[in-house]
């Protein structure tokens, strides 16, 4: 999300990728110089589950953020106890994790909302989110993202993000100076690059990049059914992030599949990367974008009302509804779709497998 300032989470465990080669003839295992290829270039891959967040156990993997919203949203992030009292978090009868804003009645100030930060931090991995419903509606600004300490020095990866009634997901990197994506060909992903203030593709991930809007980052926009009402109507689906931290061959890929097109290996909980197709977004590492821009990252779920993005675009996207804050106060009935419903979030590390004949 834009203009985010994160506090460092000290002392959290790091999960790093262990990469090995399994040779079928000799049945020996040896290291492969720590290299991890993007999924499109794997000859065969096996991921090992390291953390699964689902059902009643979901909350134990996260801390509840209760500080003022860094993006100036018109909400108050509250404790787990207060969330339960408000009825804005629960687990459904079918095991879905529900998170929303407090929309029980008209308000005269910021509504209570939820922001979760994972207790674990990560440098690389495969992150698979199965989600049935993403918050949508005028004034809303939800996001599922990863962020490191000392923002933006350890980076930010926005996986699921949008505002108001958008139907296209925004996938974006935010970094300090020295990470650009000019050399990455558009053929590596199915999405469309975001456009900077100069009308050209925004390929500089630096939050202070010239010719881009403030903290725009380098973004790629998904299909017109990858977010919002059409995504929810289809029963949601799965987002997958492959973050390969190797300096020479690594990168960050985002895959998005609707409910009726989830790859069989993903649906079975045994991801291999086979048949995943082209990622919706691809960001490459190398000399133009060292992998060191991204490390020690925590997973975040949040739901903002108004704020720097949704507030500043409210009049243009939701005309005739007054200001964003007035709308939030006066129309709780318009927030009926402002909720997350998450089936699971699974984090994997990886081993690369090759067969020697």
Q: Which active-site residues does the annotation give?
A: 156, 161
Give the whole-angstrom CA distance, residue 118 versus residue 62: 4
Burial 108-118 (b: 16+ CB within 10 A, else e): eebbbbbbbbb
Question: Which DSSP category does 286 fall into?
Answer: B
DSSP 183-218: TS-GGG-SSEE-B-TTSSB--B-BTT-TTS-TT--E
**Cis, peptide link before residue 123, omega less than 30° from 0:** no
Q: Are 45 and 253 in contact (CB under 8 A)?
A: no
Residue 270 host element (H or E):
none
Residues with Cβ within 8 Å of residue 208, at least 6 apart in sequence? 177, 215
Give the tokens for residue 33. 């110089």
Give the tokens for residue 302. 């949040």
Give the whole-angstrom CA distance, residue 164 versus residue 136: 6
Q: Are 306 and 141 in contact (CB under 8 A)?
A: yes
Q: List phi, psi (to 5°) of 252.
A: -130, 125
3-state secondary structure of 256: strand
Residue 263's CB is within 10 A of a number of other CB atoms, namely 18
Question: Which DSSP category does 274 fall into?
Answer: T
Residue 244 host element (H or E):
strand 237-244
DSSP 343-357: EEEEEEEEEE-----
Q: Are 304 and 75 in contact (CB under 8 A)?
A: yes
User: Is 119 buried (19+), middle (13-18) or exposed (0-12) by CB count in 10 A?
Assistant: middle
């Amino acid at each position: 999300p834009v203009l985010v300032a994160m506090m460092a989470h000290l002392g959290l465990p790091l999960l790093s990728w262990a990469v090995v080669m399994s040779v079928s003839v000799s049945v020996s295992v040896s290291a492969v110089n720590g290299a991890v290829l993007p999924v499109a270039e794997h000859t065969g891959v096996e991921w090992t589950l390291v953390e699964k967040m689902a059902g009643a156990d979901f909350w134990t993997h996260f801390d509840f953020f209760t500080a003022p919203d860094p993006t100036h949203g018109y909400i108050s992030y509250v404790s787990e106890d207060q969330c339960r009292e408000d009825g804005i978090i629960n687990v459904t009868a079918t095991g879905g994790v529900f998170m929303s804003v407090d929309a029980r009645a008209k308000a005269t100030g910021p509504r209570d909302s939820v922001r979760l930060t994972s207790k674990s931090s990560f440098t690389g991995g495969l992150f698979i989110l199965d989600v049935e419903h993403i918050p949508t509606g005028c004034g809303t600004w939800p996001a599922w993202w990863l962020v490191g300490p000392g923002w933006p020095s350890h980076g930010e990866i926005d996986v699921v993000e949008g505002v108001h009634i958008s139907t296209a997901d925004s996938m974006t990197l935010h970094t300090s100076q020295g990470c650009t994506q000019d050399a990455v060909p558009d053929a590596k992903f199915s999405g469309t690059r975001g456009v900077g203030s100069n009308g050209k593709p925004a390929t500089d991930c630096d939050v202070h990049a010239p010719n881009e809007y403030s903290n725009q980052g380098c973004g790629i926009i998904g299909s017109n059914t990858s977010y919002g009402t059409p995504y929810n109507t289809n029963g949601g689906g799965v987002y997958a992030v492959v973050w390969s931290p190797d300096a020479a061959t690594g990168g960050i890929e985002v895959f998005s599949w609707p409910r009726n097109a989830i790859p069989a290996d993903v649906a079975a909980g045994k991801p291999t990367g086979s048949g995943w197709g082209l990622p919706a977004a691809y960001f490459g590492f190398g000399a133009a974008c060292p992998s060191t821009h991204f490390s020690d990252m925590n997973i975040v779920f949040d739901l903002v009302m108004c704020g720097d993005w949704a507030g500043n675009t409210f009049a243009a996207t939701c005309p005739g509804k007054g200001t964003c804050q007035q709308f939030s106060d006066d129309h709780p009935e318009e927030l009926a779709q402002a909720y997350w419903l998450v089936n699971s979030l699974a984090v994997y590390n990886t081993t690369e497998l090759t067969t020697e004949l």
